[in-house]
């Protein structure tokens, strides 16, 4: 049984993996000022509700793009379960069957996306991750990360308007009925939601063109299904792909370290 933790800029996601399947996935806000005891309390409660004893967990794997939270979460996991967690980072990348671009710069979540896509599809693939940032990670059929594109995420774009303008409100992440906004809310939704449809289509198309067309696209992230009209762009929509990549990294590292 494994606990997989993926700390993003907005949420910390905890997954319980057992018998070749995700048994539970829990999500909580990732707060830099939250102490380890708060996360420990939440995790203890989730495991209690799932009827899982701490001793049932044999492996924990941690991925984080929030440096201030990484040591806090690592110490919590180590103390709670009594063994050292595997932490995704440059130190473990040489053990993976993919070639990581600029290992000291790239986010751990993007490496996880690349590995999960490479393992699942064995084809050149661009993973579009709809999170705090909207990221496009392209990995070749041979397992080389070819490049990345980054834009503000849907929530980030809407919150930026709300935070940096005097009269624009924060609005729900919903598709409006028309591109002709007849209210402030619908106007923002038209600009962001429909505008991002064009952004994703254009960038995926450009990536595919630069690679000669032999490149599939896959969507992941908590907001990956919020623009239904984009579904024809993707061969698959897998909201938990990043978590699966983190799990695979842990599995590969464990296998390599335990090899004779």
Residue 165 CB-density burial (10 A; 0-12 exposed, 13-18 middle, 19+ buried): exposed
Spatial distance between the Cα atoms of 208 and 126, rounded to a whole number of angstroms: 8
Decide: 95 and 70 in contact? Cβ < 8 Å.
Answer: no
Length, in residues, of the chain: 260
Rounded Cα–Cα distance for residues 132 and 245 (Å): 18
Question: How far apart are alpha carbons 200 and 55 in whole angstroms?
Answer: 44
Identify each DSSP E strand in 73-214 by its residue range: 86-87, 125-130, 133-139, 145-152
- Of the listed 33, 68, 109, 236, which one is catalytic? 109
**What's the DSSP call for residue 99?**
B
Residue at token pair 């990536």: 207
Concerning whether 109 is annotated as a catalytic residue, the answer is: yes
- Could you say which DSSP state residue 105 is in? T
Q: Which residues are annotated as catalytic?
A: 109
């Amino acid at each position: 049984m494994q606990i997989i933790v993926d700390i993003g800029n907005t949420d910390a996601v905890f997954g319980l993996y057992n018998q070749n399947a995700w048994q539970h996935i829990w999500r909580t806000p990732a707060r830099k000022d939250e102490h380890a005891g708060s996360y420990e309390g939440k995790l203890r409660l989730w495991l209690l509700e799932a009827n899982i004893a701490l001793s049932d967990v044999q492996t924990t794997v941690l991925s984080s793009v929030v440096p201030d939270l990484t040591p806090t979460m690592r110490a919590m996991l180590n103390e709670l379960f009594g063994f050292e967690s595997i932490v995704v980072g440059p130190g473990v990348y040489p053990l993976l069957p993919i070639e990581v671009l600029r290992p000291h710069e790239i986010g751990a979540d993007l490496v996880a996306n690349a590995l999960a896509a490479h393992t699942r599809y064995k084809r050149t693939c661009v993973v579009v991750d709809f999170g705090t940032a909207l990221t496009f990670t392209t990995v070749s059929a041979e397992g080389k990360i070819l490049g990345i594109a980054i834009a503000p995420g849907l929530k980030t774009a809407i919150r930026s308007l709300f935070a940096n303008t005097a009269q624009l409100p924060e609005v729900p992440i919903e598709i409006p009925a028309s591109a002709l906004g007849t209210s402030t809310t619908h106007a923002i939704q038209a600009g962001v939601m429909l505008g991002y449809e064009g952004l994703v289509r254009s960038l995926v198309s450009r990536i595919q063109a630069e690679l000669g067309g032999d490149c599939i696209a896959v969507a992941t992230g908590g907001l990956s299904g919020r623009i239904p009209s984009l579904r024809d762009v993707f061969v698959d929509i897998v909201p938990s792909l990043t978590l699966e990549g983190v799990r695979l990294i842990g599995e590969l590292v464990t296998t390599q370290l335990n090899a004779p």
